[in-house]
Amino acid sequence: MSSQNRNTGERKVKKFTQKMQKKLVVLFILILLAFAGLSIVLISLVKNNKVDYQKQILSQQQYDSTVIPYRRGDIVDAKGIKLATSEKVYNLIVDAKIMNTEVKGEKPYLETTLDALTRNFPMLDMVAVRKHVTTNTNAPYYVAAKRLTYDQISSFKSAQLDDSNIKGIWFEEEYKRVYPNGSLAADAIGFTTTDGQGSYGLEEFYNDILNGTNGREYGYLNEDLNLERTVKPAVDGYTVHSTIDSNIQMIAEKYIAKFMEEHKDLVRAGNGAENVGCIVMDVNNGEILAMASAPGYDLNDTRNAQALIGSKMVEQVTNANGYYEIKKNGQVINQDIIDSMDNDQLLLNLNYLWKNFCITNTYEPGSVAKPFTVAAALEKGTITPASTFECNGSLEIGGFKIKCHNGNEGTMTLESGVAKSCNVTMMKIAQTLGVDNFCEYQSIFNFGLKTNVDLAGEARTNSLIYNPNVMGPTDLATNSFGQNFNITMIQGVAGFASLINGGYYYEPHIVNKITNSNGATIKNIEPRVLKQTVSENTSELIRQYCTAVVQYGTGKTARPAGYMIGGKTGTAETIDQNTHKRSPNEYVVSFMGFAPADDPQIAVYVVVDRANAVRQDDAKFATRIVRGVLTETLPYLQIFMTEELTEKEMKELEELKLEITSQYKAPKEETEVVEPIYTVGEDGGKPTWLTFPIDPNTGYRVDPATGYKYDAQAGFLIEGDMSSIGIEEPVNKNLESE
């Protein structure tokens, strides 16, 4: 019944007809065909392209590695004070792709991030950033700002934490070399170029030790073709411990600066001297405690052309032999010249400035060589401590009449010969030695050889001394008092230290320890005695003679109040670069000293190259610097006073103490009164020096009784132990002043 009803009911409704059913089957078959076709496409796709596409996909993966920069090691001084250090800095990287990410059709990060940048980086050129972000929407790497400090980026970082819509900015880490003390010990430290390579000084010499190894964060595909990321940490560079003591260095630089300031633009426009160098060295181990020179430069701003102002301009010329030569052209650099210099010229002059005078420049040492001559002859036994020599003002050798600046002095002992810096005595001593012995001792004292001080840029001087085959009697005579051969300051002070410390020649060095970034010692650099130059007995005699120089000889003004020191003054003529003849009025004056006199601890060597003064041949330029340096350094080194202080000296020390203690309080009015020495006669009336006749040759007033020379107008005692041999005298062809 019911089924019948249903059947009749079904007849009423329209049926899905057989034809339709067939058509549906046709449709299904068509769909099957479509799927079959697609399957064939799929299969062929895989079959034909599997390897290619796999490679393609792998090549798209980012296994590019990021470099984790190492930190260049510090350079610290003897007390651990940082002379050079590396600070982490940050490059601001803009990822335009992330910034332009669309979320639900909008760009939620773009404006928020740009706004945050504007607020937190006032120095940023937002117009350029915005332009980049909106035009290169797919560029993931754009350096918007370089070398920002952490302080500069910290506000943005905290904003980034607060607002998750600030996206597409990250910071690339880098290290920047910083010199906390600016120009302090600039020549000795050197600097680092932006790519992390040291230039000059310690930075260059110890470049490989200071530099570490970059780390890497990189991705690679493991055997299952999964991308894995690995971090290989950076190895930081080692720390170099210098023997330089910042305090002594500062003292040395203070007195050099004082000299430079006093003599600046004095007679001609320009610096107080072309160069002033000062080395303080521990005589008992060869450690350099201070190495300073002027003009200097700021290590944090090495390319600042302002540092050149006042120096003589140098230029590159091709000489007669076709070699390039760097020569001073006589012009003093001023702002106008800087403006007119092209890049090459500027770089040439800066390179000249960056050189370390103390080890790179060579010059004729002058009378500071006299103790070496005496020591050599004593060692060889050609003279004895009791030997005396007759000085009658000049000595005729090889057709030249070589004068003594003091005139006729009569009988000289070794002590008075050194103390009064008598040329004739030295020439006679050298004659007893002979050419061969003299040259042998030149090389024993390391003249002509590198000292191998651990600094970049030490000059070669082997061609700047004589060898016995070509050395004539005149050469021997002039060499005996320090003319006609060149040395560097470091050679001078290292040799001198051996003369007075008992004969031990220490290799001068400026680094005594290398530690790794955790502070563990990697290497200790022990003092190295290279040779015994002279015997203990000779050394003692030299100490005695040098002490006499300060006690009553040419170096009286070098003695610091309360101490007895030894030393030797030097004044040398320079050779004109263009004429290759001795310049009539350009001098290098120096003082080489040690303290205390009875038990030498430190040696000080100060060289003033062509001072800006009416008469350059005044050793007081150097002795005053030495005196200042020692006055402050000896107490600092806890060396006690041995000499009684005069009232004047006490007053002086009081003033110095006041100056040092008050320098941090208020700027003191500088009322420096240059007191002429020996201006007032002993009778208190008309100064004695005014009565002396003027020597027509030199322009000095000469005391007929003592032979001392005084400045004709001001009455300064010309203390230079000028080893004058006259401008027509022979010149070592290899020598030139720089």
Partner 1 sequence: MAEREAVRKRNKRKSDSYFDYSLLFVVLFLLVFGFIMIYSASSYNAFQDYGDPAYYMKKQLLAALIGLVLMVVVSKIPYHFFERFALAGFIFSLLLIPVVKTPLGVNSHGATRWIKIPGIGLNLQPAEIAKLCMILFLAVLVSKLGRNVDTFKGFAIMVCAPLLHCAFIYLFTKNLSSAIIVFGISFLMLFVASSSYKVFFALGGGGIAAVTALVLYIVNKVGTDGGFRSERIIVWLNPESQAQDKGFQTLQALYAIGSGGTWGKGLGQSMQKLSFLPESQNDMIFSIICEELGLFGGICVISMFIMLLWRMLVIANNAPDLYGAMLVVGVMGHIAIQAVLNIAVVTNTIPNTGISLPFISYGGSSVMFLLIEIGLVMSVSRGIRLADTQ
Q: Name the site residues for partner 1 (rule: CB under 8 A).
A: 3, 6, 10, 13-17, 19-21, 23-25, 27-28, 31-32, 34-35, 37-39, 41-43, 45-46, 48-50, 52-54, 56-58, 60-61, 101-106, 224-227
CB of 161 to partner 1, least distance (A): 15
Compute φ and ψ for 416, nearest 5 degrees. -70, -30
Which 3 state secondary structure label does DSSP give 655? helix
3-state SS class at 714 = coil
Please state the φ and ψ torsions of residue 85, each to the nearest 5 degrees.
Answer: -145, 165
Of 608, 517, 540, which is closest to residue 571 (Cα–Cα)?
608
Residue 279, Ramachandran bin (φ over 0: left; ψ between -120 and 50: alpha; else beta): beta
Select 227 or 231, whichever has its Cβ closest to partner 1: 227
Both tokens assigned to 421? 């810096």
Q: Shortest Cβ distance from residue 67 to partner 1 (Å)?
A: 23
Q: Exposed/middle/buried for 161, CB within 10 Å: 0-12, 13-18, 19+?
A: exposed
Q: How far is the CB of 215 from partner 1 (least distance, A)?
A: 25
Cα–Cα dist 209/452, whole Å? 17
Cα separation, 201 vs 38, in Å, equals 74
Cα Rg of the chain (Å, integer): 39
Contact 649, 631 (CB under 8 A): no
Contact 289, 279 (CB under 8 A): no
CB of 171 to partner 1, least distance (A): 20
274 in Cβ contact with 264 (< 8 Å): no
C-alpha distance across the termini of the chain, in Å: 132
Nearest residue to 280 (alpha-carbon basis) of 534, 655, 588, 628: 628
Give the number of other Cβ atoms within 10 Å of residue 75's Cβ.
Answer: 27
Place of tokens 């034909």: 48
Task: Kindly state the smallest distance separating residue 137's Cβ from partner 1, in Å.
Answer: 12
Contacts of 612 (CB under 8 A, 6+ apart): 263, 264, 265, 266, 267, 268, 270, 271, 272, 273
Q: Identify which of residues 27 and 143 has a Cβ nearer to partner 1 in the complex.
A: 27
In the complex, least distance from residue 226 CB atom to partner 1, rounded to whole angstroms? 7
Output the CA torsion 720→722→726→729 (10° steps). Answer: -150
Which residue's CB is nearer to partner 1, number 170 or number 678?
A: 170
CB of 229 to partner 1, least distance (A): 13
Q: Pick from 697, 281, 191, 258: which is nearest to 491 by CA?
A: 281
Which residue has 């230290």 as its token pair?
497
Query: At 684, phi and psi to the nearest 5?
Result: 80, -5
Question: Is 230 or 697 the residue whose CB approaches partner 1 more closely?
Answer: 230
Q: Are 692 and 717 in contact (CB under 8 A)?
A: no
DSSP conformation letters of 32-56: HHHHHHHHHHHHHHHHHHHHHHHHH
Closest CB 117 distance from partner 1, rounded Å: 22
* Cβ contacts of 322 within 8 Å, gap of 6 or more: none
Strand partners, 411: 390
Instruction: Give the residue from 310, 245, 554, 286 showing the smallest Cα distance to 417.
Output: 554
Name the residue nearer to partner 1 (CB basis): 53 or 636.
Answer: 53
| Eight-class DSSP state of 435 | H
Report which residue type is found at 263: H
CA nearest 266: which of 588, 589, 621?
A: 621
Residues in the chain: 738
Nearer Cβ to partner 1 (14/665):
14
Q: In whole angstroms, what is the distance from residue 110 CA to residue 92 CA? A: 16
Write down the least CB distance from residue 287 to partner 1, Å: 59
Q: Tell me how far, at minimum, the Cβ of 165 lies from partner 1, in Å.
A: 12
Rounded to whole angstroms, the Cα distance separating 372 from 445 reads: 8
**CA dist 455 to 189, 221, 359, 452, 512, Å?**
9, 47, 8, 8, 13
Enumerate residues 6+ apart whose C-beta is below 8 A from 493: 279, 281, 508, 592, 603, 605
Rounded least distance, CB 224 to partner 1, Å: 8
Q: Least distance from C-beta 156 to partner 1, angstroms? A: 22
Beta strands in 461-549 (DSSP E): 504-506, 511-515, 521-524, 529-532
Q: Identify which of residues 14 and 648 has a Cβ nearer to partner 1 in the complex.
A: 14
Judged by CB, which is closer to partner 1: 58, or 317? 58
The C-alpha angle with vertex 82 and arms to 76 and 88, in degrees rounded to 5, equals 115
How many CB atoms neighbour CB 637 within 10 A?
17
